[in-house]
A and B are shown apart, each in its own frame.
Chain A
Amino acid sequence: MKQSAKGVIICGIGGQGVVLVSNILTEGLMEMGFDVKKTEEHGMSQRNGAVNAQIKFGAKVFAPAVAKGSGDLIIAFEKAESLRWLEYLRPDGCLIVNDVEIEPVSVQAGKEKYPENLSEILRAEIADTIIINAAEAAFRMGTIRAQSMVLLGISVKKLELGSFAWTAKIRAMVPEKYQEANINAFQYGLSLV
């Protein structure tokens, strides 16, 4: 049986806002009337580990996790992290990549290499790839912490969920002093697609 629910994977590094974006997205989806489920892996994210959230939404959702080859969208907050999840994407799925490279200790210590020319490789592999330096854009809006909202903006557009009042949801879920920057970053993201 074909699965009817849509699948989204958000991946990145602890502290980048993966969990916040997944929370905003799922709350919004629920309010739009979808059945929604999510599963998260934090691992030891405080210790700079990889973090991910998998989201499924539709008329009825059973498992929260996305099966390989069935994801509609991957949002990678860190470039190389996208590699861990590529095989979960549908052949015609969309990949959104934050053009940010964060080297783990293994690379810093010279034990491993960070993959080279990754943007070109990803673009060649997946037709619908969007690579954007969200961190830089967010920095211009007032805080690098709003980078996640740029990525959320692009995602909402790509998933055709633009009709929902996302800015109100963002306002409700981020601390007051960052609200304006976050909303501006979100709107910037929307405008990119």
Chain B
Amino acid sequence: MAGNNKYFMMGNAALARGAYEAGVVFAAAYPGTPSTQIFENAAKYPEIYSEWATNEAVAAELAIGAQMAGVRALCSMKHFGFNVAADPIFPCVYNGVLAGLVFVVADDPGQATSSTEPDARRWGPQMRIPILEPADSQECKDFTKAAYEISERFDTPILIRLTARISHGTGIVTFAERQAVPIKPYTRNLSKNVGMSSLGKFKHARLEARVKDLAQFSDETDLNRIEWGEREIGVISNGISYQYVKEIFGDGASYLKIGFSYPLPEKKIREFAAGVRKLYIVEELDPYMEEYVKQLGIPCVGKEIIPAVNELSIDVIKEAFGVTGEKRRRLDIKAPERTPNFCAGCTHRGVYTAMKKHLKKVIACGDIGCYNLAVLPPYSVHETMQDMGGSIPTAISFWKVFQLAGRPEKPFAFIGDSTFFHSGMTGLADAVYRKANIVVFILDNRSTAMTGHQDHPGSGRMMDKTPTEPIEIDDIARGMGIKEDQIRYVDPYDLADLDNAIQEGIAADKLYFIVARRPCPLLPETRKARAGISCVVSADKCTNCKACVRQTGCPALSIAEGKAVIEREDCNGCGICAQICRFQAIETVGGLR
């Protein structure tokens, strides 16, 4: 803090602060980079009731329900999550709101942590949901407060669209007090809270009328603002792209900064276009604003020079405009690649080390989580990955089609615990119902590890870390009719037993359900429980065959002066390398494995 209520904050944290100041009482989310810290920061305010939701659709339904019942609500997710949540959000836009309702979606231009690169602004015209786009941390806070006002004034849920650079960018934010917002009294209101085809036509007409009102607001609000400078070049821009063009052209150009991007401000765009010699649209990803401007019949330059793929940067935009960059240094030598890998002690390492031997007999369908790294060397096990929960249905389809094709490979579905709760349960019900002969392999590390160890219904902890009864995944399987002889427990630190379980799975003539359960080594409890346990190398036995380094890719292992060495501070004694070593040169010390 620097006095005057100023704080240095990440965009995600500033957004949560905005929700707090706006009197929000209820927050719901499922984690996903780059959105995760929005909810994690909202949860730090005791006034905001917040527990992780099982998936994004549930999160959206919770937030919708909360505003129906009378309080301001916040619901955040990454772009994939919005696809999952779209089903409840669509009717909510038709219905409108009692109390303010803000959805936040974080896009990932550049795909630092995503397999696709969609542009969430397209949801605006698709759903008729108004969209706000902040361009730095202070705006993340201010726009969120504005969003609740707009939501209640126009009787609509609203969407704040962030990108990774805004979510994870940090800047100075000035705080204000929390607004006192009384709970609105709930009364039975079918036209608002019930979706029914008989009410639908009326609601659609009302929705289109609302869009007209919002379009007028878009022209009036300061969220869309013209900054006149030199008029040779005029740039329409949004979010982080606006910061880039401001830095490049300064007062040497004029700007229309778009902060309210659905509906777009027609009058302001016309006024701006008329006031500049040449009009450019600088936006990341889709030509969303550009298509609108061109449709108004206004000539402009956009994707002709600005890439639609990958994130933008000052350098990319300079190049597009033919602005010469600064002199720079370049060396021909390159830094070695640092491809991601399982952490030391990861509970997934043993599973895929054991799987490697059986690849010819198996088709391994993967899912999303840390274990998606099993696609890469040194494992190269998974062959498919679609979306969260996709592993089990994909395995079912391979079972059926391989049957038809006369192929012998056994389909395996690998799925993590958080992903299983998110969207694996429905796929498993399908597998049971269809009597699919597949192996479902549950990688239960008691956490949502990939996104930073969030809790979930199977982790046994709530947001404030107080205990709650964990739902065990094998109990769910039993409840679905999977019998005791189809369920196999295995210790993911025991290569020999993993090998047995995998062979049993390959041989099984009906669904086989393998549960590998051990908490993620990075969880504080695990760190504590395994403190002092580690593997050590007997240098006299090590033959420098490098099998341990090559087969595990463990970051705690390296070769120095012709011998394997283990960084004891990083190692947690999982013992996978010891089980791989044919010369008994590695042993686990400091406790029982």
Contacts and interface: CB of A to CB of B under 8 A. Distances in A.
Given A35-B172, A86-B330, A43 B244 contact: no
Nearest to B560: A103
Most-contacted residue by chain A among B246, B338, B341, B559 (CB, 10 A): B338
Contact of A41 (B8, B112, B240, B325): B112
B331 A125 contact: yes
A172 B493 CA distance: 40
Interface residues of B, number: 56
B325 A63 contact: no
B519 interface: no
A55 to B, nearest CB: 9
Interface in B116-175: 136, 165, 168-172
Contacts of B331: 83, 86, 121, 125
A106 B338 CA distance: 7
Interface in A63-119: 63-65, 67-70, 80-84, 86-91, 103-110, 112-115, 118
A193 interface: no
B241 to A, nearest CB: 9
B340 A37 contact: no
Given A62-B246, A67-B326, A125-B329, A112 B337 contact: yes
Interface string B1-32: 01000101000000000000000000000000
A121 B313 contact: no
A13 B112 CA distance: 16
Given A103-B558, A108-B557, A115-B333, 19 more contacts: A33-B2, A36-B172, A37-B170, A38-B170, A40-B168, A40-B170, A44-B113, A47-B340, A49-B339, A65-B165, A67-B247, A84-B335, A87-B330, A89-B329, A103-B336, A104-B339, A105-B341, A106-B336, A106-B338
A46 interface: yes
Most-contacted residue by chain B among A35, A91, A103, A109 (CB, 10 A): A109
Given A1-B250, A39-B165, A67-B325, A105 B171 contact: no
A122 to B, nearest CB: 8
A182 interface: no
B24 to A, nearest CB: 26
Interface string B305-337: 000000001110010000001111111011111
Interface of A: 1, 3, 13, 26-27, 30-31, 33, 35-44, 46-50, 61-65, 67-70, 80-84, 86-91, 103-110, 112-115, 118, 121, 125-126
Given A86-B330, A90-B326, A113 B336 contact: yes
Contacts of B546: 109-110
Contact of B247 (A33, A62, A83): A62
A105 B339 contact: yes
Contact of A43 (B112, B243, B336, B342): B112
A173 B236 CA distance: 41
Contacts of B333: 83, 115, 118, 121
Nearest to A90: B326
A64 B170 contact: yes
B381 to A, nearest CB: 16
Contacts of B8: 26-27, 30, 36
Contacts of A112: 336-337
A164 B447 CA distance: 42
Contact of A65 (B314, B327, B522): B314
Nearest to B168: A40
B340 A49 contact: yes
Interface stretch (B216-224, B275-283, B547-555): B547-555
B203 to A, nearest CB: 42
Contacts of A49: 338-340
A40 B329 CA distance: 22
A70 B326 contact: yes
B336 A39 contact: no
Nearest to B136: A37
Contacts of B338: 13, 48-50, 104, 106
Contacts of A121: 331, 333
Contacts of B252: 1
A109 B337 contact: no
Interface string B93-131: 000000000000000000011000000000000000000
A61 B135 CA distance: 12
A58 to B, nearest CB: 11
B328 A114 contact: no
A48 B373 CA distance: 13
B327 A39 contact: no
B288 interface: no
Contacts of B2: 30-31, 33
Nearest to A116: B333
Nearest to A66: B314
Interface string B222-256: 00000000000000000010011011111110000
B356 to A, nearest CB: 15
A189 B490 CA distance: 51
Most-contacted residue by chain A among B2, B240, B244 (CB, 10 A): B2
A43 to B, nearest CB: 6
B170 A39 contact: yes
A104 B336 contact: yes
Nearest to A145: B569
